[in-house]
Structures are given as structure tokens and as C-alpha cells.
Chain A
Amino acid sequence: MNISKMKRGSMISPKQEYLHRLGKCLLLFFPVKQVLEILSDYQEYVSAGKEEESMEHMVKQWGTPGHVLRALLEESPEAKRYFYKWLAFWGMSMLLALTVLLFVSQDIFLILIPVFVFGFLHGQGQLIIENHLLIKTDCSKRIFAAYVFLTLIVVLLEARIQYLVKSPDRVSSHIGSIPMGFVIDGEYVFFQFIILLMIVWMVKKAAAVSIRYLPDVAYALGVMLFTVNVRNCLHSMNILMTEEVQMEFLFPVIYCGIGLVIAAAFKLYLSLMGRRRLWTHR
């Protein structure tokens, strides 16, 4: 393991990165409090050995975080039981969501609920470790880019629909031999697919890296609902533009706004939690 190579764009030292990776490995097998105790032991060892041994020497002694985890599991048989309990619980939750999805409701977002909850709980552990190790991952630029990208999609789709509604006589019925309705529907399907990929990626990141990605999931879900509803509105374009129909165009934008408010509130909650250091082993 080349521990001297820092994470791209991150501001953490190789020692911190090693301990961070170790903490993430341990989270699956030990409760957060115990993970913090283990990390404290290694931090103390690293700081005590500063003068005599280099980090490379220490890693050669300890091995990769995976090796350390295996050694700890050998000495702590209860850790495996903890892992299997976790696995059983989340496996059952996913199975339940899948069953409901197949036999009760067609809402595909149901399957995201256990994944979301898992990401939240597991991401909490990640955040506690990051606070303990005083690590700040440089994900703010990527998050900002995600917000801008999603907002651009919203603006583009909304502008598209406004143009179609207000200037229907300027819209061609075909592009080549392809009907315009097919093209527009294809655009929305494509954007929905992109957003769904982003949601899955963000949830995975939240579970595996940091809870800080979860607010973006909330926002992305709002955008997703927006595109779904705009498509539904487009399908009913042939009816008269009554006030009710005009209101229907407003609701999709509201969904997006709600997603943004939830995301902002969550981010505020996370920043307050980080400052207060509510969870600490001391």
C-alpha cells in the first residue's frame, strides 16, 4: 500500500489517511465507540513513535488496514457476531422493501429507503471518525458542482416546457423523421437516468465515505421528482391550458424546492453537529 500518496485534493496527512481507512474498515465490525478507542490506541502509538520510526516503517510492521482488521478480529470473536447481525438486519430491510415494491406499490423510491437509512447510520459513524481524526475531506467542490449541474438540468427542462407551452406554433412536429414528442420524452428519460445514477452514487458515497453526501441525495430526489412530474405534464399537453393545468406546472418546481430546503437543513444540522462534537468517546 503506497501510503505516502495523499488523496487527490485532500488535506490529510498519510498517517491520518491510514487511520481514516482503518476506521472505515473497523466500522463494519465494531460499534463506533470501540472504533474510536482502537483509533486512539493507534494514534497514541503513532505519536509516541514519531521520533524513532517513520510511518512507512510502521505500516510495514502493521500491514494494510485490512491486515490490522484481521488481527483484531482474531482477538475479538464478538466482532464477527456484530457484523452478521448488521448484515442480517439490512438484508431483511432490503428484502422487505423489494417485496413491498413487487407486490404492493410500484414506487421505485421505496427500495431507496433502506439504502438511505443505512447510509445515514453508517455515514454517522464515518462523520464521528472524521471529527475524531480532525479530517476534512475536500468534497465541497464536488458537492457544489453536483448542485450546479442538477440546477442547470432543472432550469433547462423548465425553459423547454415554457417554450413549448407559450410558443407551440414555433415548435416543429418532427426532427427529421422522429416525432418531436418522442424527442422531448427521450430528453426527459435521459435526464432522469442521469439523476438516478447520481442518486445511487451519492447514497453509496454517503454509506462508504461520509454522511455529508446525504443532503445532496435529498436535493437530487427533488430534482428527480421534478422531471417525473414534468413528463406527466407533457403527456397531457393536448388539453386546454386551464388554471389547474398551469398550477400543475408549478408543482414540479415546488418538489425541487422542497428537496433543496431539506438538503440545506440537513447540511446545517451536520455543521452544527460537527462544531459541537456531540459524539465523542471522552
Chain B
Amino acid sequence: MDAQIKKGILEMCILNYIERENLYGYDIIQNMHGFFPEVTESTFYAILRRLHKEGAATIYEGQVSKGPVRKYYKITEQGQKKLARMKEEWRYLQKVMDEMGI
């Protein structure tokens, strides 16, 4: 997949995931691997860190029944706005592609 296209799509997909439910890194990556098997963990983690740095997601520590402490990602208000904007742009692109017959 082209790097530029990949960058935008992966961010949108990850934000979409954590909007539905707060997840920790491993779970997010395992879910994303199902759709993008060629994308490495390094790329996913870099995107997660970027989202956190931009303020689109926050991190909190959580624990599941005596298991190890894990970092959970939660979408912020800023992240929701970003996701909404990205979804709108994606729908517009889809419409353009359809009209162009691609």
C-alpha cells in the first residue's frame, strides 16, 4: 500500500476502533493485523504515539483481573473531531471515485 494513503487510513481505522471501546496496544494491533497483515507493529505503535502526542487519544493504565498493568488508549474530544473530519473526507473520496468510475 502506498505510504501516504496508508498513513491516513490507518489513523482513521485506529481512531474508529478506540472510539467504540478503550483498548490497549496489543488488542488494537491484533485487530488491525486482521485487515492490514503487511503493516508492522512498529508502524502501529508509531501511529498510536503520534495520536497521543497530537491529543487525539489519551493513555491510562488499567489492569484486568490480577494481570499486568497495561496502557489503554481512549479517544479524546479532539480525536473525535479528527475522526469525524477524516470520515467526511473519506466519504467524499469514495463519491469522487464512484463518479470517476474507479
Contact = CB atoms under 8 A, between A and B. Distances in A.
B50 to A, nearest CB: 7
B8 interface: no
Nearest to B42: A71
Interface residues of B, number: 20
A243 interface: no
Contact of A75 (B27, B29, B50): B50
Interface string B21-56: 000111101000000000011110111111000000
Contacts of A38: 45, 49
B42 A75 contact: yes
Q: How large is the interface on A (under 10, 10 to 19, 20 to 34, 35 or more residues)?
A: 10 to 19
Interface string A24-41: 000000000000011011
A45 B26 CA distance: 5
Interface centre among B26, B29, B45 (most CB of A within 10 A): B45
A75 B43 contact: yes
Given A44-B26, A48-B24, A37 B49 contact: yes
B24 A44 contact: yes
B5 interface: no
Contact of A72 (B29, B42, B68, B71): B42
Given A44-B24, A48-B24, A48-B26, A61 B40 contact: yes
Contacts of A61: 40-41
B71 A44 contact: yes
A246 B25 CA distance: 70
Majority-rule SS of B interface residues: helix
Contact of A68 (B25, B42, B47, B49): B42
B41 A74 contact: no
B102 interface: no
Contacts of B25: 41, 44-45, 48
B55 to A, nearest CB: 16
Contacts of A44: 24-26, 68, 70-71
Nearest to A37: B49
A47 B63 CA distance: 13
B26 A71 contact: no
B1 interface: no
A49 interface: yes
Contacts of A72: 42, 45-46
B68 A41 contact: no
Contacts of B43: 71, 74-75
Interface in B8-25: 24-25
Given A61-B40, A61-B41, A62-B40, A71 B68 contact: no
B97 interface: no
A61 B26 CA distance: 14
Contacts of B24: 44, 48
Nearest to A45: B26
A99 interface: no
A82 B50 CA distance: 17
16 contacts: A37-B49, A38-B49, A41-B48, A42-B45, A44-B25, A44-B70, A45-B26, A48-B24, A48-B68, A62-B41, A62-B42, A63-B40, A71-B40, A71-B46, A72-B46, A75-B47
